[in-house]
Chain A
Amino acid sequence: MILHGARAIYLREMLILRRKLIKTLLASAVSPALFLLAFGYGVGRGAQVGGVDYLVFLLPGLLTMSSMNQSYGIATEINISRFYFKIFEEFLLAPLQRWQIIVGETCYGITRGLIPVLIIAFYSLLAGVSLRFGPLFLLALLLHLAIFALLGFIAAMIVKSHSDQATINAFLITPMMFLSGTFFPVEQMPLPIRAVASIFPLTYSTQLIRATLTPGAEVSFTLFGVLTLILATLFFIARQIVARVEI
């Protein structure tokens, strides 16, 4: 059976996700709703950004950010199963090439990342904002989710403990959420911030996903190339790390 290891790992994650699906759904519904209220209706009511209504600008940003949080969130789970429950040993003991672990966990991260997408699609319906959910959007979303699932996987492999994980989140994930163009265009920021934003992958995926969703906007194929390159690089790095990882 091809990819039996990746499929076994994915199945394990799905069996566990199934048991906490409602909790995950509710948890990923709250924060985008609050951001939507605070920024969309509070600060930005009636404003225009880059020629579109602020809500049309904000909703794709929120979608990208929330789905990043979910797919990157596998880091915490892998961490717990590695250091606390030690289930990860089961994957390392099995007769499978180690890159299959990466594939299985990345697919899980992608699946998790789809949950907030459904929620925000629902919110945009409620808000009466029509977005362009088409094949280009799906392709961009897939790249985006795979990138952040891989980042989560890499983070979980390189940390030595659970508290290291919190440090990574504080220094990488939170700044990324606020500086990558979720709430306002990166071009409005001072130059040093723009320089920082330009190294965050979220900046690129936000830009691309927003373009694919916004009616009438032009989609840059260079950005597809950039994201594919980031994805390939991360997969390569993950492979190097997982080949050397011990228990």
Chain B
Amino acid sequence: MSCADPKTFNTPDEIEVRGLSRSFGKTVAVDRIDFQVGRGELFAFLGPNGAGKTTTINMLTGLLKPDAGEIHYHGQRFDPQRLTLKQLIGVVPQHNNLDRELTAAENLLIHGRLFGMWGAELQQRIDSCLKFADLTSKRDTPAGQLSGGMKRKLVIARALLHEPEILFLDEPTVGLDPHSRRKMWAFLRRINQQQRCTIFLTTHYIEEAETLADRVLIIDQARIIAGGTPEQLKQSTGNFVLDIYRADEIESEFFADRRAAMQRLEQLDTSVRIRETTLEDVFLQLTGKRIAP
């Protein structure tokens, strides 16, 4: 498959999950979820705080044991003993877990050694990952002294070091300012296309899922409530919204197209706003609440 058209959906599924569940005591964190991710897809898992996103990633990467369900990579059943499957996976956790006393290069070095890399080949990979992440000048800076955005990029560079086929990113842009966030999106697209990496990311930013992802899965309270391309999701709710400003609330009505919305608009004499549907509206329609607090 060429990097120019990574979105061929008829190739075998990179990830397939069936009936995956996990509880902590009485809290059900993930409840019988099913989904597939295709090779080369940029896939987003969208949900509010506590929805079960991190728990899902932790099960997919072998850090937590599922109570039930199965995970397959390329049709092979995953369990943490399958070292060859672990070699395929790169993980960027929600929390920047760098060794703060060690330099950027040393952090990468240890990761490479953990993945069985060695010598000149490893040094080359370290150099090219630092370059890719724009961190060459920070090579010998202790990780603890990097800015938030640089730390995030270093964690991503580390996850890419062993050339994984699938990259998991748990809230990659959390804590970044809007400008850095956009740069990070471009960076993730670059990874997806240049490194031919399948990307599975979680987020609670609507815009992130909408602009970045090929496909979005919406999760709320441990259950998957909808899935599809951002366009499909919006279409199912209605592409246009009228926000009708009533005395004490804003009521939203959804329409398949602009013409239908305009027709309705003419019947109204209160103050009204017409706009395109966002994934936030989709979430609101499905759950009656907002994603972002």
A positions within 8 Å CB-CB of B:
1, 4-5, 7-9, 11-12, 15-16, 19-20, 85-87, 89-97, 246-247
Contacts and interface: CB of A to CB of B under 8 A. Distances in A.
B114 A89 contact: no
A89 B93 contact: yes
Contacts of B110: 8, 11-12, 15, 90
Contact of B65 (A7, A90, A91, A246): A246
A91 B95 CA distance: 15
Nearest to A247: B63
Contacts of B63: 89, 92-93, 246-247
A89 B54 CA distance: 13
Interface string B62-97: 111100000000000000100110110101010101
Interface centre among A1, A4, A94 (most CB of B within 10 A): A94
Contact of A85 (B58, B64, B100, B115): B100
Contacts of B116: 1, 4, 95
Contacts of A93: 61-63, 86, 89, 91
Given A93-B62, A246-B63, A85 B97 contact: yes
Tell me what chain A mostly uses at the interface: helix, strand, loop, or mixed: helix
Contacts of A5: 114
Contacts of B86: 93-95
Given A8-B110, A89-B93, A95 B118 contact: no
A11 B91 contact: no
Contacts of B65: 246
B253 interface: no
A79 to B, nearest CB: 15
A19 B101 contact: yes
A15 to B, nearest CB: 6
A197 to B, nearest CB: 39
Contacts of A95: 83-84, 86-87, 115-116
Interface centre among B93, B97, B118 (most CB of A within 10 A): B97
Contact of B58 (A9, A90, A247): A247
Contacts of A11: 109-110, 113
B131 to A, nearest CB: 22
Nearest to A87: B97
A57 B173 CA distance: 61
Contacts of B80: 92
A8 B113 contact: yes
A86 B97 contact: yes
A246 B102 contact: no
B64 A87 contact: no
Given A90-B111, A92-B63, A247-B58, A12 B83 contact: no
A16 B110 CA distance: 12
Nearest to A244: B65
A1 B118 CA distance: 9
Nearest to B100: A85
A90 B61 CA distance: 11
A127 B47 CA distance: 68
B106 interface: yes
A96 B83 contact: yes
Contacts of A246: 63-65
B205 to A, nearest CB: 23
Nearest to B159: A93
24 contacts: A1-B116, A4-B113, A4-B116, A4-B118, A7-B113, A8-B110, A11-B110, A15-B106, A15-B110, A16-B99, A85-B97, A87-B99, A89-B63, A90-B110, A90-B111, A90-B114, A92-B80, A94-B86, A94-B111, A95-B83, A95-B84, A95-B86, A96-B83, A246-B64
A221 B22 CA distance: 51
Contacts of B118: 1, 4
A87 to B, nearest CB: 5
Interface in B103-138: 106, 109-111, 113-116, 118
Contacts of B99: 12, 16, 85, 87
A246 B89 CA distance: 18
Interface centre among A1, A87, A95 (most CB of B within 10 A): A95
Contact of A91 (B89, B102, B109, B114): B114
A91 B99 CA distance: 13
B177 to A, nearest CB: 24
Nearest to B89: A93
Given A93-B63, A96-B114, 14 more contacts: A1-B116, A4-B114, A8-B110, A8-B114, A15-B110, A85-B97, A85-B98, A85-B100, A87-B97, A94-B111, A94-B114, A95-B86, A96-B83, A246-B65
Contacts of A90: 97, 110-111, 114
A47 B82 CA distance: 62
A215 B240 CA distance: 92
Nearest to B64: A246
Given A1-B116, A4-B116, A11-B113, A247 B64 contact: yes
B58 A94 contact: no
